[in-house]
Amino acid sequence: MRILKEPKRESYGISYSPRFTEEFKELVEKAIKKIEPFVKKEVSQSIVYFEIKENEVGDYECCDNDKCIKKAKKVIRESYGKGTHIKTHYYLGGGDYDSIETCGICGKPLNASLTWCESELEYLESEKWRAYFLKDEAFLIYCILQNSPTLDHGISEYAKKQDGKILKEALKNREKFFKRIEKLVKAIINIKLT
């Protein structure tokens, strides 16, 4: 089965943006429908991060829940000392993500969009795909499928302008990546989840 459509000629040249064939798009939609009932996570509206003396404090990002913000500040003060002035910043999603980040306090997802899903796909591939695992990871799988085709293995301007060898290699790598997506989609469709 062909996964991606051929590159498309546009007014500015050839577009190598990955686009699913109609047949594969239908399979992805079928897999999404099958996994959707197991997706139970609500995504935070914003990511909250903290700053002390104009320096961002890493490892304390949390969701927009007031209880989580209070708890995160308490943990920061335990680490940096009582009376530490902490600035709170709210970041409204968007941006480029290569993984699903979670609240350090309650575990709520901080994002559902993936610009790249290579690392998340590698995580899924490291496990045996049994019904319980696919159900436990339904949110992650849903995010990967919803965001596909992503910019993973996009064809760079550099590759487009080379002698053809680099472009062929980039297209081949991209094809391998989407074969992995196909394997995940077929597993979801073929494994009994209920």
What is the rounded average pLDDT of the residues 59-87?
90
Specify the pairing of strand 8-10 against strand 13-15.
antiparallel
Residue (of 94, 102, 98) closest to 42 by Cα position: 102
Residue (of 130, 127, 144, 137) closest to 38 by Cα position: 137
| Confidence tier at 156 by pLDDT (50, 70, 90) | low
SS3 (DSSP) at 191: coil
- pLDDT, residue 51, reads 92
How many CA atoms, within 13 angstroms, populate the side-chain half-sphere of residue 119? 8
| Helix ranges, 83-137 (H) | 118-125, 131-136
Residue bearing tokens 């994002």: 111
- pLDDT, residue 93, reads 65
pLDDT tens, position by position, 107-148: 888 887 777 788 888 889 998 889 899 999 999 999 889 888
Every domain of the chain and the residues it spans: 8-42+112-190, 47-91
Residues 6+ apart with CB under 8 A from 182: 1, 3, 24, 27
What is the rounded average pLDDT of the residues 142-170?
75
How many separate helices (H) and strands (E) can be counted in the chain? 7, 5
